[in-house]
Structure 1
Amino acid sequence: MTDADPEGFAAYVRGRAVPLRRSAYLLCGDTHQADDLVQEALTTVYSKWRLVSRADNVDAYVQRILVRTFINERRRGWWKVRLFGATAPDLPESGSGVEEKQVLRAALSRLTPGQQAVLVLRFLCDRSVADVAMLLDCSEGTVKSQTSHALSALRKILGTRRPEMTLKGAR
């Protein structure tokens, strides 16, 4: 990459690392995995920085890479190697709604990666249907149907709780 702009890439990362990490955490629910997702996504971004930096909306382009990285990570099968038998648990959050957030995180983890991504992007990241469709490279109708299916699955998992209200309160 002889004509790369490492200073431009570094400036972008300094300005956007925290929001990217937040999005990654909302997708996966684990701080360590969120860091890994951001690192993997930013590695991809760096390798394509000439192209990415010329995009009309660099943030959307990078967010799309992050979401695709998450979905691909969740799709990996038996060959995914774990270095340790168990990971250290995340430190519990403090404040109100901790239990509700933990219940929601557990319920979200039982959804398919695509459904989880749609719900996180729509409700926790407050993205529009059009934005989510662009990020996931699908139609708006697919986003709407995936949202409906995912909310239905959450209703089954959570019982009588309303997942829409739970999702909005978990931000």
Structure 2
Amino acid sequence: MDPQDQERFREFVDARWGALLRLANMLTGGDRHEAEDLVQTALMKALGRWRHVEDPESYVRKVMYRHQISRWRLLRPHRETTFAVPPANLGVPDGTATADLRIAVGQALARLTPRQRTMLVLRYFEDLSETEVAHVLGCSVGTVRSTTHRSLARLRTLAPELGGRARLAAPVPSSHAPKGAHT
């Protein structure tokens, strides 16, 4: 790798490390060490092909998705980790409601299987369409739809304390407007 490519790679890592780590943290269910390993693995793979990578951000994210999928396929007989029920009063009037919601959502996602968590993160956190998720994961759109539906139902069962708070806390992007709605 020539010095110019090395510098470009360093600049990319410096600029995008935080965002990539946040994504990895969600994909791994909040395990900081696994998240760091996931980002580092993706960056190492990108480094090997750096000269040929046109869109580094997309490439690294796709490597992260696929590596995480490989991990949950290897963990198939999955033992689910359980957590204590969070306190009933999650909304504190001191301005911490958003942080409380973020923590509650993170804990709820951690209770899902890696496959379910990956589908929801790609679909709703990364805001990918069903077709894009299917392409990234190498499955059919029907699989994405059914897995997403079951994952959301399980999330509602596992975390009823969230109720409608998640919808109220974050505005829905205009790309999610109902079909036929005109703005």
Question: Partner residue of 2:128?
Answer: 127
- RMSD (CA atoms): 3.2
Give the TM-score normalised by the residue count of structure 2: 0.65
- Does 2:141 correspond to 1:140? yes
- 2:110 and 2:117 in contact (8 A); partners too: yes
Question: Partner residue of 1:66?
Answer: 64
Give the TM-score normalised by the residue count of structure 1: 0.69
Question: Structure 1 residues 8, 116: closer, same or farther in 2, change over 3 A?
Answer: same
Offset at residue 154 of structure 1 (A): 1.1
Question: Partner residue of 1:13?
Answer: 13
The one-letter code of the counterpart of 2:59 is Y
- 2:116 and 2:151 in contact (8 A); partners too: yes
Offset at residue 115 of structure 1 (A): 1.3
Uncovered stretches (5+) of structure 2, i.e. residues with no partner: 76-94, 172-183
Question: Partner residue of 1:111?
Answer: 112
Total equivalences in the alignment: 151
Between the aligned partners of 2:17 and 2:168, the Cα distance in structure 1 is 24
Between the aligned partners of 1:118 and 1:17, the Cα distance in structure 2 is 22
Between the aligned partners of 1:139 and 1:19, the Cα distance in structure 2 is 28
The one-letter code of the counterpart of 1:68 is R
- 1:63 and 1:135 in contact (8 A); partners too: no
Question: Partner residue of 2:79?
Answer: none
Which range moves more in the overlay, 57-66 or 9-18? 9-18
Structure with the greater alpha carbon radius of gyration: 2
- 1:9 and 1:49 in contact (8 A); partners too: yes
Offset at residue 75 of structure 1 (A): 4.7
Which range moves more in the overlay, 104-113 or 68-77? 68-77
Offset at residue 63 of structure 1 (A): 0.8
Alignment map for 1:4-83 (pairs within 5 Å): 5-28=5-28, 29-51=30-52, 53=53, 55=54, 57-77=55-75
Question: Structure 1 residues 38, 167: closer, same or farther in 2, change over 3 A?
Answer: farther
- 1:64 and 1:136 in contact (8 A); partners too: no
Between the aligned partners of 1:137 and 1:151, the Cα distance in structure 2 is 21
Question: Structure 1 residues 103, 48: closer, same or farther in 2, change over 3 A?
Answer: same
Question: Structure 1 residues 168, 16: closer, same or farther in 2, change over 3 A?
Answer: farther
SS at match of 1:138: coil
The one-letter code of the counterpart of 1:59 is E
Between the aligned partners of 1:155 and 1:97, the Cα distance in structure 2 is 19
- 1:109 and 1:116 in contact (8 A); partners too: yes
Question: Structure 1 residues 161, 19: closer, same or farther in 2, change over 3 A?
Answer: closer
- 1:115 and 1:150 in contact (8 A); partners too: yes
Identity %: 36
